Amino acid sequence: MALDFDLARLPNPHLGHEHEEWRNQLRRFFDSHVCPYAAQWDEAGRIPDDLWPLAGDMGILGLGYPEEYGGVSEGVDIWHKNILNEELARVGVGGVSATLMVHNIALPPVVNFARASIRERIVPPVLAGQKRIALGITEPGAGSDVAQITTGAKRQGDHYIVNGSKTYITGAMNANWITTAVRTGGEGAGGISTLLIPTSANGVTRTPLDKKQGWWCSDTATVYFDNVKVPVANLIGAENQGFKVIMANFNDERMAMSAAMEAFARVCLEEAVEWARERQTFGQRLADHQVIRHKIAEMKRMINATQSYVQVMSNNVQNGNAHAGDIAMLKVQCSQTMEFCAREAMQIMGGMGYMRGSRVERIYREVRVNAIGGGSEEIMRDLAARQYGL
């Protein structure tokens, strides 16, 4: 059995013909519109704007969203979403998926909690790739501890006046709206609300964050709010109930990241195996050295275990009985597997792996953002411990 990206995937009894056809469609799309250019986009620090409507036409942006808003929901399950995240990871440029798919963390609060007039105005153009939306939670003084945010929103008649800032916001530079966590009440989680803030509003300014270790082509920014006037109608959910709105989507985000990280690990395995078979050292293939074979076998062992975990948790999510603690631990498992495989692939490839331009080199740089984003490994362990009643 060859250890390439596809053949290193364990059998999945939950996948049918329609899932494999979806994978084939995605692969043709990415091989045509993304893979030949992704490394150039990463070096240039930007993805071309025309990728969004192309992805919208393909059904990528609308996957899993209500069809009344232009989404694709009939017959769609978590396996379709996992396949999409795997195929995006196969590109080997994490900044592409981070920015192209950022609406998946910013739009669900609108779909699930905003009033109908807001949904009808915002959701269709985002799913069509005509407009963009980002999620604004992290602040200079509050990251994973969402309950400590300080960006304030004071109500004045039919509007809120927003002051504060958000940072490390993916997609913010080119977003038309930002789903934003603000403080409308007292301290802690009970004083948080969620507002949909248009970036065209007076008082909204943005500064790009382009000195990053990875995700170079990802649009990342600090956003400032200076007496920004936002209609009360833009409130997502009830006032002072925004913490629940924000938390509702975290499990989906962690599942998506987990599927992608497992696939990134398989990319590293594929690259390492291909190099080990071609590279000659001391009169034989690199793959003929026992120490190298053991490295590759250990990568596959960790990938197998991680894939199995992803399958179990995905099935639980699909059946509606997933445990938040187990999802948190899945994210840790996946980030550690990605990190291990990136390290070992880099070690096997040596100088070639260290040179910019290879998928392994990029994935190696992107390990930390995956291990931190969506809830750091430390926060995930603590969350799991609390979920388990410790």
For the segment 34-70, what is each residue's pLDDT rounded down to a tens digit? Answer: 999 999 999 999 999 999 999 999 999 999 999 999 9
Q: For the segment 234-256, what is each residue's pLDDT rounded down to a tens digit?
A: 999 999 999 999 988 899 999 99
The number of angstroms, rounded, from the C-alpha of 115 to the middle of its chain's C-alpha atoms is 26
Residue 12 in domain: no
Structure token digits, residue 90: 């196969």
How far is Cα 353 from Cα 351, in angstroms, rounded to an integer? 5
Residue 230, pLDDT above cutoff 60: yes
- Residue 189, pLDDT score: 92
CA distances from 27 to 3, 24, 58, 185, 270 (A): 19, 5, 12, 47, 17
Q: 307-337 pLDDT, tens per residue? A: 999 999 999 999 999 999 999 999 999 999 9
Q: Are residues 121 and 158 in the same domain?
A: no
Q: Is the pTM of this model over 0.85?
A: yes
* Judgement on whether residues 86 and 173 belong to the same structural domain of the protein: no
Q: Let me know whether 123 and 169 are in one domain.
A: no
Q: Which pLDDT tens digit goes with each residue over 256-308? A: 999 999 999 999 999 999 999 999 889 999 999 999 999 999 999 999 999 99
Q: How many CB atoms lie within 10 A of CB 31?
A: 13
Q: CA-CA distance, 338 to 143, in Å (whole number)?
A: 23
**Is 11 a member of any domain?**
no
* 224: in domain: yes
| 268 and 364 fall within a common domain | yes
* 4 lies in some domain: no
Residue ending a domain, choose from 196, 216, 241: 241
Render pLDDT for 378-389 as a digit per residue (tens, 0 to 9). 999 999 999 999
Q: How many residues would you count in the chain?
A: 390
With beta carbons less than 8 A apart as the criterion, state whether 124 and 69 touch. yes
pLDDT band at 142 (very low <50, low <70, confident <90, very high): confident
Q: How confident is the model at residue 144 (pLDDT cuts 50, 70, 90)?
A: confident
> Does residue 199 lie within any of the structural domains?
yes
SS3 4: coil
Last residue of a domain, one of 190, 208, 241: 241
- Alpha-carbon gap, residue 297 to 275, rounded angstroms: 15
Task: Please tell me whether residues 71 and 180 are part of one structural domain.
Answer: no
Residue 141 has pLDDT above 90, yes or no: no
Q: Which of 249, 100, 128 is nearest to 179 (CA)?
A: 249
What CATH number does the domain containing 364 carry? 1.20.140.10
- Note whether 252 and 378 are same-domain residues: yes
Q: How far apart are CA 81 and CA 360, in angstroms?
A: 24
* The predicted structure's pLDDT at residue 1: 53
Cβ 224 vs Cβ 206: under 8 Å: yes
CATH of the domain at 147: 2.40.110.10
Q: Range of 53's domain?
A: 17-127
Query: Cα–Cα distance between 341 and 350 in angstroms, integer?
Result: 14
Asked if 42 and 216 count as a contact pair (C-beta separation under 8 A), the reply is yes
Residue 9 counted as domain residue: no
- In this model, does residue 216 exceed pLDDT 90? yes
Residues 185 and 219 in one domain: yes
Structural domain ending residue among the three candidates 192, 210, 241: 241
In a domain, 1, yes or no: no
Radius of gyration, alpha carbons of the chain: 21
Q: What percent of the chain has pLDDT over 90?
A: 93
Exposure letters 310-343 (e unless 16+ CB within 10 A, then b): bbebbbbbeeeebebbebbbbbbbbbbbbbbbbb
Task: Note whether residue 3 is domain-resident.
Answer: no
Q: How many domains does the chain have?
A: 3
Residues 109 and 167 in one domain: no
Alpha carbon distance 105, 252 (integer Å)? 8
Residue 376 burial class via C-beta count within 10 angstroms: exposed 0-12, middle 13-18, buried 19 and up: middle
Same domain, yes or no, for 375 and 252? yes
pLDDT tens figures, 173-214: 999 999 999 999 999 999 999 999 999 999 999 999 999 999
Residues 93 and 215 in one domain: no
Q: Are residues 101 and 115 in the same domain?
A: yes
Whether 105 and 213 map to the same domain: the answer is no
40: CATH:
1.10.540.10
